[in-house]
Amino acid sequence: MKKLINQPDDVVRESLEGFAAAFSGMIRLHVDPVYIVRADAPAKGKVGVLSGGGSGHEPMHGGFVGYGMLDAACPGAIFTSPTPDQMQEATRAINGGVGVLHIIKNYTGDIMNFEMAADLARDEGIEVASVIIDDDVAVKDSLYTAGRRGVGTTVLAEKITGAAAQQGRPLAEVADVCQRVNGYGRSMGVALTSCTVPHVGHATFELPEDQMEIGIGIHGEPGRARTALQPADQVTEMLMEPVIADLPFKTGDEVLLFVNGMGGTPLPELHIVYRKALQIATQHGLKVTRSLVGPYMTSLEMAGCSVTLLKLNAELTALWDAPVCTPGMRWGM
């Protein structure tokens, strides 16, 4: 394992300390329990937006705390959902009196921990709504499984929902916006290499030079299938076609195209994937009116990417364009 770390058990704490120091103007780090919160929280009269999940996906979620996006984020151990006490205290810290929305990626651990936290917060008299993001078309959805994973759409949902909350909309409306983003977003990912969890010390899985994992999540887990490594254009097709087919996205739809890097893949490769994804979207009659390209939701140093398509309308586009000022996403201010 080659990493710029000290002790594996200190990775999350030390990186959060560095992160908080580097972005002290925007965010504060609370310890015991651990959460990252907007420097100016709570915003009175504004719905608080909280997300969280395992660490190892940076900049998500802590990097999305700030004006116009999240009010707080709870980081867990690497690839491990945070605990209810973190979420409960963070919920309290960002409650401006009009309730808090929990944005939860659909993983059993995240769901259960957030559920417990919401119960605890409600016991304190805080109004809590929850939206579960489950946009990964690589996973078969079924009542008899854990359902689809929450992947790329989470980033878009946090931006758009945060903008709605920033406008001062009430909790039910903010939750509704988030729900609609989840309904309109679809993603799929591919890995060229595994990642190495620091306290494990070796790669989670071995992937030969000529193979790739298609349909991966964001926790260094193997994907749905292992196939021969393909040129970028073919890989992009393998990701885009199931995504487009699933909603389904239709001729004339305005969409946001998001090519996300898994951490170890450099920008030029993401742009090569974007190039092809744009061609495929255009061939399907989709109008790509907004784009996002970069490592926004990573799996440590994994090489690979995911593509997300989000169907837009005037309202969602305006919320996407609204000012945002966070360590990981910033425009308009």
Partner 1 sequence: MSGAPSTSTISHEDVLAWLRVYAQVIADNRGYLTDLDAAIGDADHGANMDRGFKAVIAKLMDTADKDISTTLRTVGMALISTVGGAAGPLYGTLFLQASQAAAGKTALTLSDWATMLDAATEGVIKRGKAGPGDKTMVDALVPAVQALKGAIAAGQSFPEALQSSARAAEHGMQSTLPLIAHKGRASYLGERSAGHLDPGATSSYLLIKAAADTWAGSY
Ligand X SMILES: Nc1ncnc2c1ncn2[C@@H]1O[C@H](COP(=O)(O)OP(=O)(O)O)[C@@H](O)[C@H]1O
Among a copy of itself, Mg ion, ligand X, none, what binds residue 151 when CB lies within 5 to 8 Å by partner kind? none
| Per-residue binding letters, 100-119, with ligand X (x by CB under 6 A) | --------xx----------
Give the DSSP letter of residue 62.
G
Q: Which of 30, 61, 102, 219 is catalytic?
A: 219
Q: Would you count residue 304 as binding partner 1 (CB under 8 A)?
A: no
Q: Which of 55, 80, 86, 196 binds Mg ion (CB under 5 A)?
A: 80
219 belongs to the catalytic site: yes
Among ligand X, partner 1, Mg ion, none, what binds residue 241 when CB lies within 5 to 8 Å by partner kind? none
Number of Cα atoms under 13 Å in the Cβ half of residue 72: 32
Q: Which position has the token pair 């499984």?
A: 145
Cα torsion 55, 19, 165, 323: sign: negative
Rounded to 5°, angle at Cα 109 from 103 and 115? 55
**254-261 and 287-294: which strand pairing?**
parallel
Q: Would you count residue 222 as binding ligand X (CB under 6 A)?
A: no
Among Mg ion, a copy of itself, partner 1, none, what binds residue 232 when CB lies within 5 to 8 Å by partner kind? a copy of itself
**Residue 201 CB burial class (10 angstroms; 0-12, 13-18, ≥19):** exposed
Stretch 69-98 residues interacting with ligand X (CB under 6 A): 80-81
Q: Which of 15, 92, 96, 109 binds partner 1 (CB under 8 A)?
A: 109
Q: Would you count residue 1 as binding partner 1 (CB under 8 A)?
A: no
271 belongs to the catalytic site: no
* Dist CA 260 CA 93 (whole Å): 31
Q: Which position has the token pair 């298609």?
A: 214
CB-based contacts of 282: which residues, under 8 Å, 6+ apart? 288
Token reading at 86: 């973190």
Among partner 1, a copy of itself, Mg ion, none, what binds residue 300 when CB lies within 5 to 8 Å by partner kind? a copy of itself
Q: Which of 26, 47, 66, 83 binds partner 1 (CB under 8 A)?
A: 83
Give the range of 74-82, 155-163, 265-273, 304-312 binding partner 1 by CB under 8 A.
74-82
Q: Can you state the angle between helices 171-184 and 153-166, rounded to 10 degrees?
A: 150
Rounded to 5°, angle at Cα 91 from 87 and 92? 120
Stretch 267-306 residues interacting with ligand X (CB under 6 A): none
Active site residues: 57, 219
User: What are the residues binding Mg ion (CB under 5 A)?
Assistant: 79-80
User: What are the residues binding ligand X (CB under 6 A)?
Assistant: 80-81, 108-109
